[in-house]
């Protein structure tokens, strides 16, 4: 390990091993074509000195940064109310770590930060970006596209024409919603309501579409707009109860709003699932399992989505000649039955 302070350079290692800097560089970078005797000497010197390559120097010549930016744009609320991003981050982190790539986190709040992010990305400090762009009208995608950095989006981006020119990872929101609603219908429920998510996000819009796929002629009053939060779920449920006291099932756009709905149903004296069956979306364990009653819900593998995003970005960077435009990925969902429906 040697003393702190002056960290050893390639030069020092070369001197100690009795070879040239070039040779040390080759060994350190695992290039073939170095006699094993020398390689051994070099590795020993590296260990003895506690040599760690200087990334700045390396980047300067290679123009690679071994770092990717994770951009999370979320005006205030959601990021911190539900563990969604945390899980996604974990998946990303695992994959990046496995490739020895650093994760630079860029949190933005409002437009003011957009310019900063754009500058950072186009400034050439990272090899790519993983972006969570949740709102239909978000200007960030455009800025990022302009930055000329390889990018993978988390969730289908909502901007027009985006889908084919852009790589993203998402779950099958629409199909998942369909399976939830079909499940409720299969239970014999006939007044099935939907609490939407924030409809300026594609995931919410897609889930609503899925609901409509199964129930094309549904009473419009059976759809109440929520915002993915428990409070929003409560409000929506109250509205629903007001308008249609005879609802016998609710498909909520996520577990958090389902939890809110559950509370309102209980307060109204209704029993779940006897009087009203409830299905959520996400299978956010701490929420779904702890709900009262435990929530039947549509599971998506959030951590895996994160891992995939990172893998996709990294793969694209192999400089593989044909970018193999590994199109976007849409993961399947799975209905998890518990007690609420």
Partner DNA sequence: TTGAAAGCGCTAACAG
Partner DNA sequence: CTGTTAGCGCTTTCAA
Binding residues vs a copy of itself (CB under 8 A): 1, 4-5, 7, 50, 52-57, 59-60, 65, 67, 70, 79-83, 85-87, 89-90, 93-94, 97, 102-107, 109, 113, 116, 119-120, 122-125, 146, 148, 229-231, 256, 259-260, 263, 285-286, 289-290, 292
Contact status, residue 196 vs residue 204, Cβ threshold 8 Å: yes
Phi/psi of residue 132, nearest 5 degrees:
-105, 105
Binding flag, residue 43, DNA (CB under 7 A): no
What is the nearest approach in angstroms of DNA to the Cβ of residue 31? 8
Binding flag, residue 33, DNA (CB under 7 A): yes
- Give the list of residues 6+ apart from residue 12 with CB closer than 8 angstroms, or none: 49, 51
The angle at the Cα of 142, spanning 281 to 112, to the nearest 5 degrees, equals 90
Query: 44 to 63, contacts with DNA by CB under 7 A?
Result: 51, 53-54, 57-58, 60-62
For residue 301, give Cα distances in angstroms to 79, 133, 162, 244, 250. 17, 19, 24, 34, 23
Our CB check for DNA shows the closer of 62 and 268 to be 62
Q: Which of 16, 19, 118, 261 binds DNA (CB under 7 A)?
A: 19
Place of tokens 């949190």: 107
Q: Mark 61-90 with x for binding to DNA (rule: CB under 7 A) and - for no binding.
A: xx----------------------------
For residue 246, give Cα distances in angstroms to 189, 201, 269. 11, 29, 13
User: Among DNA, a copy of itself, none, what binds residue 176 when CB lies within 5 to 8 Å by partner kind?
Assistant: none
User: Among a copy of itself, DNA, none, what binds residue 263 when CB lies within 5 to 8 Å by partner kind?
Assistant: a copy of itself
Rounded (10°) angle between helices 36-49 and 21-28: 90
Single out the residue of 77, 84, 75 nearest to residue 203, CA to CA. Answer: 84
- Give the list of residues 6+ apart from residue 176 with CB closer than 8 angstroms, or none: 207, 210, 281, 298, 300, 333, 335
Binding flag, residue 38, DNA (CB under 7 A): yes
What is the nearest approach in angstroms of DNA to the Cβ of residue 87? 34
Q: Where along the sequence are the contacts to DNA (CB under 7 A)?
A: 9-11, 18-23, 25-26, 28-29, 33-35, 37-38, 51, 53-54, 57-58, 60-62
């Amino acid at each position: 390990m040697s003393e702190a302070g002056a960290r050893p350079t390639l030069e020092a290692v070369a001197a100690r091993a009795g070879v040239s800097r070039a040779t040390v560089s080759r060994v350190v970078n695992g290039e073939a074509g170095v006699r094993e005797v020398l390689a051994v000497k070099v590795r020993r010197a590296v260990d003895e000195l506690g040599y760690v390559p200087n990334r700045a120097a390396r980047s300067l010549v290679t123009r690679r940064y071994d770092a990717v930016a994770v951009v999370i744009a979320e005006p205030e609320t959601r990021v911190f109310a539900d563990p969604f991003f945390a899980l996604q981050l974990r998946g990303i982190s695992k994959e990046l770590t496995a490739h020895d790539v650093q994760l630079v986190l860029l949190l933005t709040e409002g437009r003011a930060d957009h310019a900063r992010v754009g500058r950072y990305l186009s400034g050439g400090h990272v090899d790519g970006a993983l972006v969570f762009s949740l709102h239909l009208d978000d200007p960030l995608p455009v800025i990022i596209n302009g930055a000329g950095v390889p990018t993978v989006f988390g969730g289908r981006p909502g901007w027009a024409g985006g889908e084919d020119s852009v790589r993203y990872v998402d779950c099958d929101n629409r199909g998942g919603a369909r399976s939830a609603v079909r499940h409720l219908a299969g239970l014999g429920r006939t007044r099935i309501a939907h609490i939407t998510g924030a409809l300026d996000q594609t995931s919410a819009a897609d889930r609503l579409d899925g609901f409509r796929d199964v129930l094309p002629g549904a009473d419009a009053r059976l759809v109440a707009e929520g915002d993915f939060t428990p409070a929003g779920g409560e409000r929506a449920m109250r509205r629903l109860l007001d308008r249609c006291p005879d609802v016998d099932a609710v498909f909520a756009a996520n577990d958090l709003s389902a939890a809110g709905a559950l509370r309102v149903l209980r307060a109204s004296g209704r029993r779940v699932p006897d009087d009203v069956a409830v299905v959520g979306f996400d299978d956010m364990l701490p929420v779904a399992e702890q709900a009262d009653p435990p929530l039947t819900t549509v599971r998506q593998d959030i951590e895996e989505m994160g891992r995939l995003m990172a893998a996709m970005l990294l793969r694209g960077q192999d400089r593989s000649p044909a970018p193999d435009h590994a199109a976007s990925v849409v993961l399947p969902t799975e209905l998890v039955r518990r007690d609420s429906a």
